[in-house]
């Protein structure tokens, strides 16, 4: 079925609630969506020049991902190997130890890749969940995790201990440095997921949450945390960037953001000399900043 037909099927099955479990077409629709997501044909959010943020949320895709949780049953992954009987003779050959197993919904197994996929998944405990898309040239350094519905575009690197949350959208040539956390937004289905556009560098131990959009070419210095509730102070543009009721927090193109602090200006906070965390734009990306990122190409 094409994407329009798939959308209609997903919306119908999702609206059926728990009754969808008795409808064989619901599982068929979910598996079709899972295949479309893993092929990059369907996305939880898509670029849209006419949208206020430049992105359109595809609520039906999120509905389909939630439908998969509703339809799945708990199972052991992979199935346990048979174990020797305690009564077996001491000299009887024993099978090799069973692999590490997990218990999850049957509809969400771990994704598997082969050489033809063009994804470099380095050994060492990483995991990519079903319904996630990884384009050719993506590099995954262990251990890292990519959740269902996520989209990671060409040439990006997900470094050690990094997380790409459910439905997060990662652009081309993005580097998610060690321990970077890209939050996931699955519910509510019409909520904007976290979006990291092309050529963004996310430093170590950064956190990007609550539907924040980081525009192309931006640099997040190590330890920067971006949330809906924390304004960003733009020293260059002499402005304060905030989320609104209609729009998420948006980091401008080529902005270089670092962790900062602002003094508490009243009450006990002032008396005690306290400061609060504040992300600060200290400059906009230039040739010198680009030179500091050229090491990326040497690692691929």
Residues 64 and 199 in one domain: no
Q: What's the Cα-to-Cα distance from 223 to each of 65, 178, 203, 278, rounded to whole Å?
A: 31, 11, 7, 11
Residue 163 confidence class, pLDDT cut points 50, 70, 90: very high
pLDDT of residue 297: 61
Contacts 24+ apart (CB under 8 A), 43-50: 43/133, 43/151, 43/169, 44/149, 44/151, 44/167, 44/169, 44/193, 45/167, 45/169, 45/192, 45/193, 45/195
Domain holding 168: CATH number? 2.160.10.10
Range of the structural domain that residue 269 is part of: 117-285
Question: In this structure, are residues 107 and 89 in contact, taking their beta carbons and an 8 Å threshold?
Answer: no
pLDDT of residue 146: 98
pLDDT above 80 for 88:
no
Residues 50 and 178 in one domain: no
Query: Is 105 a member of any domain?
Result: no
Distance (Å, rounded) from C-alpha 169 to C-alpha 149?
9
Q: What count of other Cβ atoms lies within 10 Å of the Cβ of residue 286?
A: 10
Number of domains in the chain: 2
pLDDT above 80 for 39:
yes
Domain holding 7: CATH number? 1.10.166.10
pLDDT of residue 96: 61
pLDDT of residue 69: 97
Percentage of the chain exceeding pLDDT 90: 85
Residue 49 confidence class, pLDDT cut points 50, 70, 90: very high
Q: DSSP assignment, residue 102? A: E
Identify the residue with better confidence: 286 or 36: 36
Pairing between β-strand 120-121 and β-strand 139-140 as defined by DSSP bridges: parallel
Residues 145 and 234 in one domain: yes
Q: Give the dihedral of Cα atoms 107, 108, 113, 118; nearest 10 deg.
A: 110
pLDDT above 60 for 95:
no
Picking from 111, 14, 20, the residue whose alpha carbon sits closest to that of residue 64 is 14
Query: Is 47 a member of any domain?
Result: yes
Q: Alpha-carbon Rg of the chain, whole angstroms?
A: 22
Query: Is 298 a member of any domain?
Result: no
pLDDT in tens, 222-280: 999 999 999 999 999 999 999 999 999 999 999 999 999 999 999 999 999 999 999 99
pLDDT above 60 for 203:
yes
pTM: 0.91
Distance (Å, rounded) from C-alpha 124 to C-alpha 151?
22
pLDDT of residue 1: 83
């Amino acid at each position: 079925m094409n994407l329009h037909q798939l959308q209609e099927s997903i919306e119908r099955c999702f609206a059926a609630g728990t009754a969808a479990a008795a409808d064989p077409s619901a599982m068929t629709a979910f598996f079709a969506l899972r295949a479309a997501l893993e092929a990059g044909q369907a996305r939880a959010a898509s670029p849209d020049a006419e949208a206020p943020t430049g992105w359109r949320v595809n609520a039906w895709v999120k509905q389909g991902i939630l439908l998969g949780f509703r339809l799945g049953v708990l199972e052991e992954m992979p199935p346990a190997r048979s174990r020797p009987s305690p009564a077996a003779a001491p000299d009887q050959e024993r099978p090799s130890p069973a692999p590490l197993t997990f218990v999850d919904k049957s509809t969400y197994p771990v994704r598997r890749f082969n050489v033809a996929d063009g994804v470099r998944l380095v050994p060492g405990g990483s995991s990519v969940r079903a319904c996630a898309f990884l384009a050719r040239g993506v590099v995954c350094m262990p251990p890292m995790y990519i959740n269902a519905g996520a989209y990671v575009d060409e040439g990006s690197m997900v470094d050690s201990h990094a997380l790409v949350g459910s439905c997060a959208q990662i652009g081309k040539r993005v580097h998610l440095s060690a321990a970077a956390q890209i939050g996931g937004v699955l519910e509510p289905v019409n909520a904007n997921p976290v979006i990291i556009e092309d050529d963004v560098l996310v430093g170590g131990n950064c956190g990007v949450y609550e539907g924040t959009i980081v525009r192309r070419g931006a640099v997040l210095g190590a330890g920067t945390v971006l949330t809906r509730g924390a304004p960003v102070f733009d020293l260059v543009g002499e402005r304060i960037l905030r989320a609104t009721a209609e729009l998420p927090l948006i980091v401008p193109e080529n902005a270089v953001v670092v962790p900062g602090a602002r003094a508490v200006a009243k009450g006990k906070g002032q008396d005690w000399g306290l400061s609060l965390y504040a992300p600060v734009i200290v400059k906009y990306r230039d040739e010198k900043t680009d030179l500091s990122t050229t090491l990326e190409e040497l690692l691929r």
